[in-house]
Copies of this chain bind each other. A is one copy, B any other.
Amino acid sequence: MATDRTRTAILNAAERLYAERGFSDVTLRDIVAEANVNLAAVNYHFGSKDELIAELFVTRSIATNRERLSELKAVEDAGGGRAPIESVMRALVGPTLRGCLGPDRQRSTAARFMIRASIEAVPPIRKIRNREISHLRRFAAAMRRSLPGCPDVDIYWGLHFALAMAHQTIRDSERLDKLSEGLCDLNDVDGIINRVVTASVLALTQRPSAATARAQRA
């Protein structure tokens, strides 16, 4: 029992610190100080710093993906196997955005950790991260079902841009807040999700080659 408490304390402290300051700037000593445990406990429970990071990442990765897929399944089932594109994109970016910007503090840390992991591709994470490709492919497939006529290349770019907007909003919310002098409300999670979803869907559905040509000439 006491062993589990130590293990959990380390995991929580590590996730919080990594999410805030990044992997290379947080030492094991920082973590054990935050967790109020002994330095040797980390290596006893996890073997090494890299294995601790990997365990955090795998756990959170599975949880986030499950949440996304469950939301996707719900909207596709409701539509007889084919959801509106808005709902698909919402299932993609909603869980992460709600987790990072919402009021729910515990999930916030988890999601921030995942964003950090996506930025600092530290070796233990890089290996595991390739699995995410197959996860995203399931969303690409759902998007294809929602937009049967849409070329694959546009599907992938749309997926990429949606994640880009969601992640950057979490990552750099401070700059947007300063730039807009508070005008952009970063506590209004639903509003942000709507903006990201709307922008992604527009880019996906209203991309006549004419618009591209026009932009190019300008």
- Residues of chain A having any CB pair with chain B under 8 Å: 22, 24-25, 75, 84, 86-87, 90, 118-120, 130, 132-133, 136-137, 140, 152-153, 156-157, 159-161, 163-165, 167-169, 171-172, 175-176, 178-180, 183-184, 190, 194-199, 201-203, 206-207, 211-212, 214-216, 218
Chain B residues, Cβ within 8 Å of A196: 161
Could you tell me if B86 and A218 are in contact, using CB atoms closer than 8 angstroms? yes
The answer to whether A190 and B176 touch (CB under 8 A), given A183-B153, A199-B161, A199-B199, is no
Could you tell me if A199 and B201 are in contact, using CB atoms closer than 8 angstroms? no
Instruction: Classify the interface of chain A: helix, strand, loop or mixed.
Output: helix
Could you tell me if A197 and B180 are in contact, using CB atoms closer than 8 angstroms? no
Could you tell me if B203 and A203 are in contact, using CB atoms closer than 8 angstroms? yes
A202 touches which of B22, B25, B169, B202 (Cβ 8 Å): B202
Smallest CB gap from A173: residue in B: B160
Q: How far is the CA of A18 from the CA of B97 in the complex (A)?
A: 30
Query: How many copies of this chain?
Result: 2
Q: How far is the CA of A115 from the CA of B137 in the complex (A)?
A: 27
Chain B residues, Cβ within 8 Å of A157: 176, 184, 195
Q: How far is the CA of A101 from the CA of B20 in the complex (A)?
A: 30
A156 touches which of B156, B168, B183, B206 (Cβ 8 Å): B183
Could you tell me if A215 and B199 are in contact, using CB atoms closer than 8 angstroms? no
Smallest CB gap from A132: residue in B: B175
Chain B residues, Cβ within 8 Å of A207: 198-199, 202
User: Which 6 pairs across A and B sit closest by C-beta, in order of nearness?
Assistant: A164-B168, A199-B203, A24-B24, A156-B180, A86-B215, A202-B202
